[in-house]
C-alpha cells in the first residue's frame, strides 16, 4: 500500500473506529478472575488497575487488535485499532502481514504523539485542534493526576497488541509441562501459581528466544542461567523446559529469601534481585504499587513495572479457563536419569529402543552441535537426561552399565 493511503487511514482511524462503535468498547471487557487475599498478592490499587488491563489483553483482545494507551496508567486507553475492520477496505494482507500492521500502528502512535505535544504547548486549547486531541482530553480528564502530566508534556504512550488467541494456544501448550513444573515448585515450597510466570515470559513456547538473548520457556539470560544450570557451546539447559523450571524455582525462592515479598520477588525475576533491593531501600517500603509510581531508574521501565501485574492477570485468566470444567493435563510420563558416569549418545541409542530424534525432543538443551559432539564423546557425569517413561527399562539398563541411574516419574 502507498504511504499516502496508510497516512489517510491513520489520521481518520480514531473517528472511524468510534463511528463503528469501538470508542465505547475500549475498556468494556469483563474483569476476569479478581483478587483473592493470599500472601503473595499486592493490595495496591495501582497494581490492580494494571492487572485488569492485562486481563483484557490476555482474554478479550486478539492479535488482530492493538490498543494505544498510557505507559504509566495503562487503564487510560485512547484508541483501539481493529485490523479486521481495516481488512474490509484494505484487504486480507493487513491480517497476515505483521510488518504491514506495525506500519499502521506506528502511524497511529506518531499522530497521537503529535497531539500530546500540542497539549504541552497549547494546554487545554489543544482540544480545539482536532478529533484525536479531543479524544485524548476526554480520556485523561477522568484521572486528574494523568491530566496534570498531560498538560506538562510528561505523558508517554505506547501500543499493545492483543494476546487472547495466543494465550489460548499457550494454555494448550502448558498441559504438557505444568504437571512437572508444579511438582518442582512444590518441592521448593513455592506457591504453584508462580509457574504461570511462564505465560508472561514465553507463552509456554520452549523455543522462544528474545532479541536480547533470553531463551526457553523461562527466558533465562545466559549469566543468570549459569547460576542454576549448564550453559555452554554444546549444552544450553535454558532450552529444557524441565531443567529451566528447576532453575526458575530456585531463582524465585532466592529472590523471596532476600526481598521477603512475593510482589517484589516476582518483579525481580524481570528486573533483577539487586535492582529490586535497591528500589526497596530507596523507597523505604516493599509496597510494589508505591515503588512503581515513584522509583526512577533507567532500567526500571514498562516491562519491569508491569511484570507482576501480567503474572497475576495470567494466573487469573488461566483459572478462568477451568472455572466450569476440570483441568486437562497430558499424562506426564517423563523419566529423569542422572548419569553418575559418562556415556555416549551412540551407546545410549544402540543399547536402547530410544532414537536420536526422540532423545533430542525430550532434551532440548542438547543443541544440534551437542548431538553431533556427544555421539562418540561421552555426556558428562552428573548430566540429567529425560526420556519417555515407556523407554525407562531399556534406558535404565543401558546407563546402568555405565552409571548408577536415578529414575523420577512426573
Closest CA to 26 of 142, 199, 184: 142
pLDDT number for residue 149: 97
pLDDT number for residue 139: 97
pLDDT number for residue 1: 44
Stated as kind and residue range, the H or E segment containing 77 is: strand 77-82
pTM score, two decimals?
Answer: 0.86
What whole-number distance in Å separates Cα of residue 25 and Cα of residue 246?
Answer: 42
What whole-number distance in Å separates Cα of residue 210 and Cα of residue 216?
Answer: 9
Average pLDDT of the chain? Answer: 86
What whole-number distance in Å separates Cα of residue 119 and Cα of residue 134?
Answer: 11
pLDDT number for residue 392: 73
Q: Which residues contact 43 (CB under 8 A, 6 or more apart)?
A: 35
For residue 103, the number of C-alpha atoms closer than 13 Å in the C-beta half-sphere is 16
- The C-alpha cell at 198 is 511462564
Q: CB–CB of 268/275 below 8 Å?
A: yes
Strand partners, 408: 336
State pLDDT tens for residues 241-264. 999 999 999 999 999 999 999 999
CA 67 to chain centre: 17
Closest CA to 389 of 318, 347, 336, 349: 336
Q: CB–CB of 326/365 below 8 Å?
A: no
Q: What is the mean pLDDT of each run of 10 residues along the chain (410 residues)?
A: 43 38 34 36 83 97 96 96 87 81 92 96 96 97 96 96 97 92 93 97 96 96 96 95 96 96 96 98 96 95 97 95 65 76 90 89 94 93 87 75 50
- For residue 168, how many other CB atoms are within 10 A of its CB? 14
- The C-alpha cell at 89 is 477496505
- For residue 197, how many other CB atoms are within 10 A of its CB? 24
What whole-number distance in Å separates Cα of residue 218 and Cα of residue 197?
Answer: 8
Which sign, positive or negative, has the C-alpha torsion 150, 153, 154, 157? positive
pLDDT number for residue 301: 96
Amino acid at each position: 500500500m502507498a504511504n499516502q493511503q496508510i497516512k489517510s487511514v491513520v489520521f481518520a482511524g480514531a473517528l472511524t473506529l468510534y463511528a463503528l462503535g469501538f470508542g465505547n468498547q475500549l475498556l468494556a471487557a469483563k474483569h476476569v478472575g479478581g483478587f483473592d487475599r493470599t500472601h503473595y498478592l499486592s493490595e495496591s490499587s495501582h497494581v490492580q488497575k494494571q492487572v485488569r488491563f492485562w486481563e483484557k489483553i490476555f482474554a478479550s483482545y486478539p492479535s488482530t487488535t492493538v490498543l494505544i494507551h498510557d505507559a504509566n496508567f495503562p487503564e487510560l486507553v485512547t484508541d483501539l485499532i481493529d485490523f479486521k475492520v481495516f481488512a474490509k477496505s484494505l484487504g486480507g494482507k493487513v491480517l497476515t502481514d505483521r510488518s504491514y500492521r506495525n506500519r499502521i500502528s506506528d502511524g497511529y502512535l506518531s499522530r497521537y504523539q503529535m497531539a500530546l505535544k500540542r497539549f504541552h504547548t497549547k494546554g487545554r486549547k489543544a482540544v480545539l485542534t482536532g478529533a484525536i486531541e479531543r479524544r485524548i482530553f476526554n480520556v485523561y480528564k477522568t484521572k486528574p493526576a494523568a491530566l496534570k502530566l498531560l498538560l506538562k508534556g510528561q505523558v508517554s504512550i505506547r501500543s499493545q497488541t492483543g494476546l487472547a488467541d495466543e494465550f489460548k494456544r499457550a494454555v494448550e501448550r502448558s498441559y504438557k509441562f505444568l504437571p512437572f513444573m508444579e511438582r518442582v515448585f512444590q518441592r521448593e515450597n513455592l506457591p504453584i501459581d508462580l509457574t504461570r510466570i511462564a505465560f508472561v515470559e514465553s507463552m509456554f513456547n520452549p523455543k522462544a528466544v528474545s532479541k536480547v538473548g533470553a531463551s526457553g520457556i523461562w527466558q533465562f539470560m545466559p549469566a543468570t542461567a549459569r547460576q542454576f544450570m549448564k550453559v555452554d557451546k554444546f549444552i544450553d539447559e535454558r532450552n529444557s523446559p524441565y531443567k529451566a523450571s528447576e532453575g526458575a524455582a530456585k531463582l524465585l525462592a532466592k529472590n523471596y529469601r532476600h526481598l521477603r515479598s512475593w510482589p517484589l520477588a516476582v518483579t525481580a525475576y524481570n528486573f533483577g534481585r539487586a535492582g529490586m533491593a535497591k528500589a526497596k531501600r530507596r523507597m523505604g517500603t516493599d509496597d510494589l504499587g508505591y515503588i512503581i509510581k515513584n522509583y526512577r531508574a533507567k532500567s526500571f521501565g514498562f516491562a519491569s513495572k508491569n511484570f507482576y501485574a501480567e503474572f497475576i492477570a495470567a494466573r487469573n485468566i488461566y483459572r478462568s479457563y477451568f472455572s466450569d470444567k476440570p483441568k486437562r493435563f497430558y499424562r506426564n510420563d517423563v523419566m529423569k536419569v542422572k548419569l553418575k558416569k559418562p556415556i555416549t549418545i551412540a551407546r545410549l541409542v544402540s543399547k536402547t529402543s530410544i532414537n536420536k530424534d526422540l532423545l533430542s525432543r525430550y532434551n532440548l538443551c542438547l543443541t544440534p552441535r551437542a548431538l553431533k559432539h556427544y555421539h562418540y564423546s561421552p555426556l558428562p557425569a552428573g548430566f540429567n537426561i529425560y526420556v519417555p517413561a515407556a523407554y525407562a527399562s531399556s534406558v535404565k539398563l543401558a546407563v546402568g552399565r555405565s552409571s548408577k541411574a536415578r529414575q523420577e516419574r512426573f
